[in-house]
Structures are given as structure tokens and as C-alpha cells.
A and B are shown apart, each in its own frame.
Chain A
Amino acid sequence: MLELRGIRSGYGDVTILKDVDLTVEAEIFAVLGANGAGKSTLMRTIARLLAVEAGDLRFRGEDVTAVAPNRLAEMGISLVPQEANIFPNLTVRENLSLGTMFGTRSSRSRIDEVFDLFPDIAARADQKAGSLSGGESQMVAFGRALAQEPRLMLLDEPTTGLSPKYVNLLLEKVRQIHDSHGVAILLAEQNAVKALEVASRVLVLSLGKVYLDSPVSETDLEAIQGGYHI
């Protein structure tokens, strides 16, 4: 579904990702690595928010190395950034409705579905999103990505700040939309154990390079941890 070949990208003169190859099928793909390893940079690059310096990026067979980020949303990619992932001056409901521009079902039914999943934010539907707690903001950001009816979800540490109950709920939902709709998911996580519970494949980044790319069943925590100590 998604293919990266020899991707190099970064910020201005600073190159972060070096020669990254990656193929994501309709699966749950965990992206692990130490702080600063380049997980968020990878997500931003795929979402076309950072220029690709070298290599190419294909989504569903189409070369998207140079398409505008807003076109990617139309093609079915949704991103939950690690930070600044809500619009603080819009209400929770307005935040969610911005995710319903494309897709088939009515905006209202998709928003209601998010509220069913996260009753905590349903109670705050008409409150400015800027006044939410960290965990509540994550629910809004994840809910909005769900409402996009994506084919590929890029989740950058979506469980940050969530209580254990909601971590499980969110990951369960991730598994469910994958199982029922064949949605591909790229899931960056600090919590390796939790991520590996839902993922079928794992990528470990280290200093902007691919340290490990393997089916979860063929690797173990020890091998993965090797990528954190270089």
C-alpha cells in the first residue's frame, strides 16, 4: 500500500532520515526507536509535510513524492501528529468535523461514532479544544483521524497522556478498524510492549536509519532493544 525507497529527508540543511526503505501493506506496523531516532520525521515525511530530499514515495501504486499534502488526505492518508494535533480555537465538534471532508458516510454519523468511542469528549463537544486535557486532546486528534475514513493511518505516539484504560481502548480500536476495514496503520510508540501486542510488523529506527524491519513473530524485545543502545 505504501512504499518508501531510499528516502532521505530532514529539516533545512539537517538530514535526519538516511536511506530509509519501507513497505507497508494492509497491516499494523509498529515504529519504534529512541527519542530523536526519527519516528516523527518519518511520519511527517510520509504525510508530505517535509520535503523529500532523495528517494521516492508511492501510495497505492501512485508516485506521491511531490504531491501536495492536502491531496494525500483525499487519497486516504490520515495523520495524528505527536504535538499540536488539535485546533485550540475550534470546538471539539468542529475539530472532528474538519476530518469529514472526504469519505462516504455522513459527517454527523462519523462524529457520533467518535463520541460513542470516547464519551469523555462527547460531554465536551461544544467546548474549545484548547481547554481540553492532554489525554482528551489525544482522543480528539485520534477521533478526527478515524472520522477521515482513511486507508492508511499515521499515528505518532497517539497514546501519550492517556490513562491505561484509554490506551487499551485506543489500541483496540486500531486493531478493529484494521480487521474490519483493512486499514493500514503505522504506529509510532514509546510503549514497545503495547505496540507489539497489536502490531504484526515492527520497524526500529536508530539515528535516522532502519535498524530492524521484521514481522513481530520473528523477533523479540531483546533484538528490538538493540536499536536503542547505539
Chain B
Amino acid sequence: MFDLLTSYTLFSLSTVMGFVALATLLHLQFGLAGIVNFGVVGFWGLGMYAFGVLLIQFEVPYPLAMLLAVAIVAAVSLLIGWVIVDLNDQAVLVATLAFGTIVTSLVTTEKWLTEGVVGLGSVPYPVETGDGALWQFVVLTAVTAAIVIYAARIAKTPYGRLLAAKRDNEPLARGLGKNTSRHKLTIFVITCALMGFVGTLSAPVHRFLTPDLIGPGVTFSAWIALIVGGKRHPLGGVLGVALTIFVFDFVIETYVPVPSEHAATVTVIKTIVYGVTLIVALMFRPLGLLGPGRKRGSR
């Protein structure tokens, strides 16, 4: 059966899997905790590049490079989280979006560290046998599954209820004695660090790290998937990615024979379909396919 899993198929599936993880982490940040993180790509990309730079430029051993990269993302997200924790939604959106943009532009300009647009590489798999790509996919899937299970569990814990309470009415939650800022910061740092971790796992999938891998499209794709699937549901990210990114980046690219001169058209169509899907979803199911239908008092 592994014949089916050509290296290109594995590459596409690994990319899709990374998005499932990112969209589910975004569910925890936005759907559960109400943090409007528009800098998803920054945390993921920082993890990916920090890992690549440590591994290749500084020849840090593989597992240590991963660990350090995640620690760097955690430290940066702690700093950002500390700044945004008590800001309103618009300010959080702008701040995180700016962060994502800064990461992309630093990666492009700081050539001495990142090789810029030339590309940093090649990032090897942890095990350089013939099955490296397959194993990487398996590991990514396992990590993603763990994140989804964590998301499904947390909603039912007192901590999850607290985050939902804070999201819906912060002053009231504070008045009940909850240190809402601290809880918000904790979940933000954990989920951002996990985005960075997913980034370290994505690095060998792409092999050569270039700035165009970490454009704003990553953030938008994760957002669209989550909104379509259902921001409040732990499986919202899974369903959303399956219906959007999986369809375009895997099904169509792999099984629909698009003549190469029309390849660019597919990208354009994809963007249009994403946009239309998002608008339709927001109009008819503001809480996504897995959310309840439109009802009084919901938002």
C-alpha cells in the first residue's frame, strides 16, 4: 500500500496535517480563549526557522535544536502574550499580525542567518533511512491527534470552562475571583509553543526553508478552515481543513490532471473559493459547520 504514498503524496498530506494542527491550536486560542491571533504563521515559522538555523548554521544536535526552537517560540510568545493580554480584540489582531509580518521579513533580510530567499537547507529527517518522509508524516499525525484530543478534553475541564467564561464576559469572570489575565497568558504560550513545535516538524517536510513558505497565506488558511469548520468545536479545525486545504492542496493537486499551463488558475480559483466559502459560512453558520445554527443571543 505504501506504493500509493509517493513522496509527493506524503509531502501534501504532511502539509495538510500541519494545517490541521495549526487550525486546532487556533481553535484553542480563538474559539476557546477568545484570543484573536492573526500571527499564526509567525509562531509556526519561527519554530521552523529557529530549528533550521540551529541545526544547519550552528550544528546543534537534532533533538536539542527542536527543543531550543520550541523554547524560543515559547519565550517570544510569553513576551507577546504579556503585551496583548489585556488589550482589546482589534489591538490583539494588529499586534499579532504585525508579529507574523516581522518574522517573515526578518527571515528574508537576515541572510547571514537564514540564507534569505536562497533557502536554508537541506533540513534532514531525524532518521535518514528511505522511510524518513513516511515516519515524519506518522509523527506529525500523532502530534496532531494529541493536540485534537487535548482540545476535546480541555473544554470539559474546569480550566476550559474558565477560559470560555473569560471569553464571554471577562469582567464577570474577574469579579468571581478568576485571574483571567494569567489563564489567558498560559493558554496562549502553550498553544503558540505547540505551533512552533509543529513548525519544527514541518521543516524537514519542506526540506528547503524559504521565506515564501511563511507568508500570510498560512495564517489566513488556518483561519478560514477554523471558521468554516466551527471555531467553538474541537473538531472544527479538522473538518475545516478537510473541506478547504485538503481538497485543494491534496485532492485536486494529486488526482485532478490540471495541465501545467493552468496551474496558476487553480491557485486563483482556490483563493476565490476560500473567500466565498468564508462569506457563506459567516452568513449562514457563523459558528461554522460544527457549531449550532444561527440562534438568538449567539455570536
- Contact surface of A with B, Cβ cutoff 8 Å: 47, 49, 68-74, 78-79, 81, 84-90, 94, 97-99, 101-102, 130-131, 144, 148
Check if A98 sits within 8 Å of B162, measured CB to CB.
Answer: yes
**A69 with B171: CB separation less than 8 A:** yes
Asked whether, in the complex, the Cβ of B175 is within 8 Å of the Cβ of A73, the reply is: yes
Distance (whole angstroms) from the CB of B297 to the closest CB of chain A? 5
* Complex contacts, A73 vs chain B, CB 8 Å: 175-177
Q: Give chain B nearest CB distance to A206 CB in angstroms.
A: 26
Chain B 152-180: CB-based contact to A (< 8 A → 1; otherwise 0)? 00000010011011001101111111111
Give the shortest distance, in Å, between A103 (CB) and chain B (any CB).
10
Chain B contact residues: helix, strand, loop or mixed: helix
Most buried by A among B172, B232, B298: B172
Give 7 CB contacts A-B under 8 Å.
A47-B175, A71-B177, A84-B169, A90-B161, A90-B168, A130-B297, A148-B177
Q: Mark B167-205, 1 if CB is under 8 A from A, else 0.
A: 011011111111110000000000000000000000000
Is A89 a contact partner of B168 (Cβ separation < 8 A)?
yes
| Residue of B whose beta carbon sits closest to that of A50 | B171
Q: A90-B161, A90-B165, A94-B161 are contacts. A101–B175 as well, Cβ < 8 Å?
A: no
Residue from the list B158, B164, B171, B297 in contact with A49, Cβ < 8 A: B171
The reply to whether B178 and A70 form a contact with Cβ atoms under 8 Å apart is yes
* Residues A98 and B164 in contact in the complex (CB < 8 Å), given A49-B171, A84-B169: no
Q: Determine if A101 and B178 form an interchain contact, defined as CB atoms under 8 angstroms apart.
A: yes
Contacts A49-B174, A68-B174, A90-B168 given; 13 further ones with Cβ under 8 A? A69-B174, A70-B174, A73-B176, A74-B177, A81-B175, A87-B172, A87-B173, A89-B164, A89-B232, A90-B165, A97-B158, A99-B176, A102-B177
Give the residue of B165, B232, B298 whose beta carbon is less than 8 angstroms from that of A87.
B165
Proximity string of chain B (48-70) to chain A, C-beta cutoff 8 Å, 1 when within and 0 when not: 00000000000000000000000
Min CB gap B299→A, angstroms? 9
- Measured between beta carbons, the chain B residues less than 8 angstroms from A90 are 161, 164-165, 168
* For the complex of A and B, 4 pairs with smallest distance between CB atoms: A73-B177, A69-B174, A87-B165, A79-B175
Name the residue in A47, A72, A87 with the highest tally of chain B Cβ atoms < 10 Å from its Cβ.
A87
Cα-based distance from A97 to B176 in the complex (angstroms)? 10
Taking a contact as CB atoms under 8 Å apart, the answer to whether A85 and B177 are in contact is no
B130 to chain A, nearest CB (A): 49
The answer to whether A87 touches B164, judged by C-beta atoms less than 8 angstroms apart, is yes
For B172, list chain A residues within 8 Å (CB): 81, 84-87
Q: How far is the CA of A174 from the CA of B165 in the complex (A)?
A: 26
Residues of A within 8 A of B171 (CB): 49, 69, 81
Q: Is the CB of B179 within 8 A of A68?
A: yes
Cα distance A89–B164 when bound, in Å? Answer: 7
- Nearest Cβ distance between residue A127 and chain B, in whole angstroms? 13
- Report the separation of the CA atoms of residues A88 and B178 in the bound assembly, to the nearest whole angstrom: 17
Closest to A73 in B: B177
Is there an interface contact between A70 and B164, defined as CB atoms closer than 8 Å? Answer: no
Q: Is the CB of A98 within 8 A of B297?
A: no
Whether A98 lies near B173 (C-beta < 8 A) is yes
Closest to B171 in A: A49
Q: How far is the CA of A88 from the CA of B164 in the complex (A)?
A: 10
Which residue of A81, A88, A97, A102 is within 8 Å of B297 (Cβ)?
A: A88
